[in-house]
Structure 1
Amino acid sequence: MPAEQTVSGAHPASVVTGYRIILPNDWEQIPLRHGTEGALRRILDKAFIHIPAGSPPDRVNVFKRELDRRLRATVARAQESNALDLYLPMRSTSDVNLGASIVVSETLLPRHRGQAGAHSEPTDVALHLLSQDGVVNADLSSGELDGALAVRREYVAESDSGKGADLASRRVEYIVAVPDDPNRWFAAAFSAVGGGDPRDELADALVEWFDAVMATLRWGR
């Protein structure tokens, strides 16, 4: 499933205005700035269709309320960072699996002389952006995605119930320089709990899968 989105701001036709990644059909896209409610209703309605006929109404209502609450809480946390899009996987039963997610965002650096990034090398800017949250003991690497510099960070985030993270998770983040504009950066953050241990084989497989997804990144103009 190609997932496409327009990046914020008005730009000339020759400048990047969006991105495209390819995801399996069981992943749902939730835009976080426009059209959020419609996407939420579509996902919830799809999940509710698969409730077995004849299920006790009281249990059905509890299930619907809890699914709605969990999904909206996940969206709200993503919106706090002013992200562009949230992607969530669907189980074969069409229940929403919140054990993994992808959050896509855009960073706009100050354009004024003397501000961070004004005369820095792109790799230094990327590392600066990634270091702002204080994460330590992360694996860092760099390369290119669709012709643009990309810096990759991988680490394990411990559980933090205050932030809605009841389990530790494996995190992989890509921050990519948007072509033709040194002040714009694309970021994609993947999170997965694996089989309950963020360092287990399932988590390893999911990380490999996300790296393959990021290899499909293409810019829209």
Structure 2
Amino acid sequence: MSLPEPPVESACAPSGFNIVPPPGWDTVPLRNGTSEAIQRIVGKSVAQLPAGFPKDDIPKARLRLTKELKQTVRQARKSHGLTLYLPVERMHGIIIPASFVASEPLAAPTGDVAPEAVLRDLARDAEDASVREVDGTAAVRTLRRLAADPDNGVEVPTWRVQYTVPIPHSVPAQWLTFSFSTLIAPDMGTEFAEILVELFDAVMTTFRWSYA
């Protein structure tokens, strides 16, 4: 995944990053090629419908999934998303209700200060935070458990994990965030949510900076 070209004085900054999504997941670029990615994912999902699924209902299923994906894309873009990662293969007959988003480069949240100070602030203000190493870069990992919010269309609780990663040698200082969320459906249970969180943590161990 490419990042915008850094200023001349930050020539040592990485030009992008690579990350390996879990098996059965796909990516949706949020700048270019979004429509094509949605069509591809919808096609995969329809192809996995059960053999007995009524043929007359397939167009409705396709339209519903397309609408849901477009809504997810809109939400990701509002959060300065660069790339959206989604499960596209069914597990025990269902699509996992989870996703994660890689952000565009963001300015340091508290102005032109040292990355270490920003990390300390993030860790101090979060209810569950820890410092993790991401390809040699110190990053902050936070975990939040959010209550259901029916007024905004969220009928069940959500777990959200975010990694905030400073871009090395960026001038001015910039950051990437990787935000994972999963719904806690009544038939899932906490253990399954914890497994998905562990899966995302495993994905972040595959993160590598790339240099032109």
TM-score bucket of the superposed structures, by smaller chain: 0.7 to 0.9
- Taking a change above 3 Å as real, the CA distance of residues 11 and 164 of structure 1, as seen in their structure-2 partners, is farther
Offset at 1:204?
Answer: 1.3
SS in 2 for 1:8: coil
Offset at 1:75?
Answer: 1.1
Instruction: Write the distance in 2 (CA, Å) between the matches of 1:59 and 1:14.
Output: 54
1:125 correspondence with 2:112: no
Offset at 1:162?
Answer: 4.1
The answer to whether the Cα contact below 8 Å between 1:86 and 1:103 also exists between their aligned partners in 2 is: yes
Structure 1: gaps (5+ residues) = none
Of residues 5-14 and 67-76 in structure 1, the stretch that sits farther from structure 2 once superposed is: 5-14
The answer to whether the Cα contact below 8 Å between 2:102 and 2:179 also exists between their aligned partners in 1 is: yes
Q: 1:180 aligns with which of 161, 169, 174?
A: 169
Alignment of structure 1 residues 12-27 onto 2, 5 Å: 14-27=12-25
Instruction: Write the distance in 2 (CA, Å) between the matches of 1:137 and 1:181.
Output: 25
SS in 2 for 1:67: helix
Alignment of structure 1 residues 100-179 onto 2, 5 Å: 100-109=98-107, 116-118=110-112, 120-126=113-119, 138-179=127-168
SS in 1 for 2:110: coil
Of residues 151-160 and 59-68 in structure 1, the stretch that sits farther from structure 2 once superposed is: 59-68
- Taking a change above 3 Å as real, the CA distance of residues 55 and 109 of structure 1, as seen in their structure-2 partners, is closer
Instruction: Write the distance in 1 (CA, Å) between the matches of 2:179 and 2:188.
Output: 15
4+ residue runs over 3 A deviation:
9-14, 50-58, 126-131, 161-164, 194-199
Instruction: Write the distance in 1 (CA, Å) between the matches of 2:73 and 2:95.
Output: 13
Instruction: Write the distance in 1 (CA, Å) between the matches of 2:175 and 2:123.
Output: 11
Q: 1:212 aligns with which of 202, 205, 209?
A: 202
Q: Which amino acid aligns with 1:206?
A: L
Q: Which residue of 2 aligns with 1:200?
A: 190
Q: Which amino acid aligns with 2:167?
A: V
- Taking a change above 3 Å as real, the CA distance of residues 200 and 185 of structure 1, as seen in their structure-2 partners, is same
Offset at 1:198?
Answer: 8.4
The higher-RCO structure (CA 8 Å, 6+ apart) is 2
Instruction: Write the distance in 1 (CA, Å) between the matches of 2:131 and 2:123.
Output: 12
Q: How high is the TM-score relative to the length of structure 1?
A: 0.80
Instruction: Write the distance in 2 (CA, Å) between the matches of 1:116 and 1:142.
Output: 18
Give % identity. Answer: 35
RMSD (CA atoms):
3.0
Cα shift readout 1:7-56 (whole Å, capped 9, x = no counterpart): 23455664211111112230110011111111111111122223456854
The answer to whether the Cα contact below 8 Å between 1:169 and 1:197 also exists between their aligned partners in 2 is: no
Of residues 205-214 and 169-178 in structure 1, the stretch that sits farther from structure 2 once superposed is: 205-214
SS in 1 for 2:132: strand
Cα shift readout 1:59-117 (whole Å, capped 9, x = no counterpart): 22221111111111111111112210110112337x8836101111034327xxxx933
